[in-house]
Amino acid sequence: MQVKVTKLVPYDYVMKAANVCTGKNVQNLDPWKMYKAEHSLIYTQWFWVEVYDIEPYVHTHFRTHEKNGCQFFVSTSRKGQERHQKDSLNMAFICNASHLINMARKRLCGKADPQVRECMLDIRDRIFEIEPALSSAMVTNCSYRGKCYELTPCFKGGDLE
Ligand SMILES: [Zn+2]
């Protein structure tokens, strides 16, 4: 598996959006605060994520997040092509910061499929390299909610120590 992430929109657009919303000349909004607050201004921040050489089912777990508005592109396996349905595949998706935070909540949990979790961790590592403040907001649902509410919790007793 290989993951590559490209940031598509400069952070300046958080301030540009804030200026429109407030009618003031807002500057220097702290990314660490903005991503943690999950303020709607972070919807301006779009990313292109490429993931190479994954088992087909890994992409289906990620693709459940498409309903939230990110768009996926996946290697074809239609009849007549050289790829077969069980071959490893490549996927890419375009998404905003909020999509990544929500994906991480589900896919980093200890109850997530191990390969899917590894893929999400790789994506977060790449995000850390280009937007560390966003990676700090990409946490598990369990730590987000203070407890794992999966039917069989990922931590003993369901509480985080
Ligand atoms: Zn959990």
In the chain, where the domains are located? 2-158
Q: What is the pLDDT of residue 87?
A: 83
Question: φ and ψ at 104, to 5 degrees?
Answer: -60, -40
User: Tell me: domain 2-158, CATH 3.30.1360.170, correct?
Assistant: yes
Give residue 56's identity as a one-letter amino acid code.
P
Distance 114 CA to ligand 1 centre (A): 13
Distances (CA, A) of 89 to 1, 22, 74, 107, 122: 10, 45, 7, 19, 17
Nearest C-alpha neighbor of 117 from the set 72, 46, 56, 61: 61
Spell out, as residue ranges, where the chain has pLDDT lower than 70: 77-81, 83, 155-161
What is this structure's pTM?
0.90
Quote the ligand 1 centre to 94 CA distance (angstroms).
26
What's the number of CA atoms in the CB half-sphere (13 Å) around residue 6? 7
